């Protein structure tokens, strides 16, 4: 019988083989989030260059009560909060505190692929907000969607942190549409989106002076070494962050600084890299209002309210699963 660990390794092998066989080479961003990757990402969110987390947190602190009230839509039924890609749930505390002020019973379902992140979030939340019932779900996005459907009662699904920006626009709509199919009419989604701005602000956010983002990017190679027995030499790759103005996205790459061959025994093959050749590891789309409207409308959700910071760098949207026609 296949164990969960064996299934995960098989999935990793399939993703790596698919991406490295293509030209240009790429790797799925799903590979970032092992325990070390999750830890490094949490460190990134505290960097001075990484404006996203603190800007979104400020929006939530200012408007969390209103967000909860609008999500309830006049119903006295307690709202159950579900979070996709919860991580350490640091910003979520703001929303849970707001819910606790108006609800006697607050239930929170954090969904994440990292068990370590879920454990950390659960421990911290039980200490800070003992009145909140934390029910972690160790799942990826796809599995998490179907689990949302099983949670009874009125729900507010948190999809914050601009995680939606890591997907191609058509994929973003598809993910939100899948979420919509697993919601009941009247359920709501709180969606965080990073907005388009100057590359002078964007590039440092993804290529910080301390090199934490570089370590995060390179960790994907370390994970392949560990999981598949590969012999990537991390010193032979450098982190690159590029602004693609045409597609309105930051791209993260790993560039080979020399001509080299990397063996991956578990795939029974080797991969050749030219000097200067890159592996495309992640995109982070920066939205314009028309891009957002298209993604949301194509998902079959209705945008009821938007909150932004004064510089309009970041936006948080309350979306509604409307009544079926």
- Strands (E) in 142-227, as ranges, are 155-159, 188-194
**Rounded alpha-carbon distances, angstroms, from residue 285 to 172, 215, 307:** 10, 21, 19
2 pLDDT band, cuts 50/70/90, is low
Per the DSSP assignment, residues forming a β-bridge with 249 are 244, 285
Which carries the bigger pLDDT value, residue 10 or residue 239? 239
> What average pLDDT score do residues 55-76 get?
94
For residues 141 and 110, the answer to whether their CB atoms sit within 8 Å is no
> What average pLDDT score do residues 75-94 get?
88
**Rounded alpha-carbon distances, angstroms, from residue 57 to 54, 188, 293:** 5, 19, 23
CA pair distance 311, 316, nearest whole angstrom: 14
- Strands (E) in the chain, as ranges, are 25-26, 80-84, 106-112, 132-134, 137-138, 155-159, 188-194, 237-244, 249-256, 260-264, 269-273, 278-285, 302-308, 314-320
**Alpha carbon of residue 84 to chain centroid:** 8
Which backbone phi and psi does 11 adopt, to 5 degrees? -65, -40
For residues 115 and 140, the answer to whether their CB atoms sit within 8 Å is no
Structure tokens at 120: 């950390």
pLDDT exceeds 50 at position 325? no
Structure-derived torsion over alpha carbons of residues 207, 213, 215, 218, reported in degrees to the nearest 10: -80
Average pLDDT, the chain: 93
Q: What is the pLDDT of residue 323?
A: 64
CA pair distance 71, 304, nearest whole angstrom: 10
Q: Which pTM does this prediction carry?
A: 0.91
SS3 139: coil
Structure tokens at 6: 């064996």
Which carries the bigger pLDDT value, residue 6 or residue 209? 209
Q: What is the pLDDT of residue 183?
A: 94
pLDDT exceeds 80 at position 93? yes
Q: 147-199: per-residue pLDDT in tens?
A: 888 899 999 999 999 999 999 999 999 999 999 999 999 999 999 999 999 99
């Amino acid at each position: 019988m296949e164990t969960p660990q064996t299934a995960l390794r098989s999935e990793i092998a399939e993703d790596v083989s698919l991406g490295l066989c293509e030209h240009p080479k790429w790797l799925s961003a799903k590979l970032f989030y092992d325990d070390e990757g999750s830890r490094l990402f949490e460190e990134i969110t505290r960097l001075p260059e990484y404006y996203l987390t603190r800007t979104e947190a400020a929006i939530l602190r200012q408007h969390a009560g209103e967000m909860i009230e609008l999500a309830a839509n006049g119903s006295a039924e307690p709202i159950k909060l579900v979070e996709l890609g919860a991580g350490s749930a640091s910003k979520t505390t703001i929303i849970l505190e707001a819910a606790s002020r108006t609800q006697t019973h607050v239930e929170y379902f954090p969904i994440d692929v990292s068990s370590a992140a879920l454990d950390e979030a659960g421990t911290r939340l039980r200490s800070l907000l003992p009145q909140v019932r934390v029910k972690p779900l160790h799942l990826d996005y796809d599995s998490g969607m179907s689990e949302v459907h099983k949670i009874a009662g009125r729900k507010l699904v948190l999809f914050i942190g601009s995680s939606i920006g890591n997907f191609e626009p058509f994929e973003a709509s598809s993910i939100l549409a899948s979420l919509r199919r697993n919601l009941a009419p009247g359920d709501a989604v709180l969606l965080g989106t990073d907005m388009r701005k100057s590359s002078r602000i964007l590039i440092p956010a993804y290529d910080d002076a301390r090199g934490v983002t570089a370590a995060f990017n390179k960790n994907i190679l370390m994970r392949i070494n560990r999981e598949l027995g590969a012999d990537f030499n991390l010193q032979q790759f450098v982190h690159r962050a590029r602004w693609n103005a045409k597609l309105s996205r930051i791209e993260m790459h790993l560039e080979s600084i020399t001509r080299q061959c990397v063996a991956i025994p578990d795939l029974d093959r080797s991969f050749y890299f030219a000097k200067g050749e890159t592996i495309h590891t992640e995109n982070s789309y920066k939205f314009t209002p028309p891009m957002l409207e298209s993604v949301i409308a194509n998902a079959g959700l209705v945008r009821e309210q938007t909150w932004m910071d004064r510089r309009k760098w970041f936006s948080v949207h309350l979306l509604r699963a409307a009544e079926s026609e």
